[in-house]
Amino acid sequence: MQLFRSVLNEVAVSKGQFLLKPGTVVKHEYFVVKGCLKAYYQDAKGNRHIIQFAIENWWIGDFDAFLNQIPSKLYIEAIEDAELLSIHYDNLQKIYNEAPIFNRYFRILTTKAFIAQQKRILSTLEKNTKDRYIEFCTSYPNIELRVANYDIANYLGVTPENLSRVRKTFKG
């Protein structure tokens, strides 16, 4: 645990700042101590698709680019001023070698993230926009107060206009 702490670095970003932009070879993953961030992909048409929101106690990064040490395709941007802990790729490899138990920690972490994503996929397959919005709000409590409407729409895969209309149907 001391070893782990020794390789974590404190990072502060303010709202609107980027932790990562496409094309960068990704050297860090980030743990959110405070604040809120989004990871998104911008396609050829300029549409943004939110892969992940990260709030307190979540990890965020481009796991594909990080694992395979290839250039990223994602943006990671702070939606609120945020405090993070970062871990460098080389240090993480060092930790895996020196304290293999961390493989277990990250194995379980990754499995949980995998399961969460699977739920998201199922939700998309099964439910309509309204129900997915409600599910989203309950699984990320109070997130709708911290995140712009259009970002939630981009997460759910609908337009902001449609989400706005959908929200009207169950507010009073």
Nearer to DNA, 2 or 128 (CB): 128
Stretch binding its own copies (CB under 8 A), from 12-20, 115-123, 129-137, 160-168: 115-123
**Smallest gap, in angstroms, from Cβ of residue 81 to DNA?**
12
Residues near 109 by beta carbon (within 8 Å), at least 6 away in sequence: 59
**Smallest gap, in angstroms, from Cβ of residue 153 to DNA?**
8
**Smallest gap, in angstroms, from Cβ of residue 171 to its own copies?**
25
Distance CA 23, CA 149 (A): 28
Q: Residue 41 belongs to what H/E stretch?
A: strand 37-42
65-99 burial by CB neighbour count: b if 16+ within 10 A, else e? Answer: bbeeeeebebbbbbbeebebbbbeeebbeebeeee
Q: Is 41 in the site for its own copies (CB under 8 A)?
A: yes
90 binds, among DNA, its own copies, none (CB under 5 to 8 A by kind): none
- The footprint of DNA (CB under 7 A) covers 128-130, 148-150, 157-168
Distance CA 43, CA 117 (A): 21
86 binds, among its own copies, DNA, none (CB under 5 to 8 A by kind): none
Nearer to its own copies, 83 or 106 (CB): 106
Residues near 99 by beta carbon (within 8 Å), at least 6 away in sequence: 3, 4
12, 25, 122, 148: which one binds its own copies (CB under 8 A): 122
153 Rama sector, left if φ>0, alpha if ψ -120 to 50, beta otherwise: alpha
The conformation of residue 10, written as its DSSP 8-state character, comes to E
Instruction: List contacts with its own copies (CB under 8 A).
Output: 41, 43, 47, 49-51, 63-64, 67, 96, 100-101, 103-104, 106-108, 110-115, 117-118, 120-122, 124-126, 154, 157
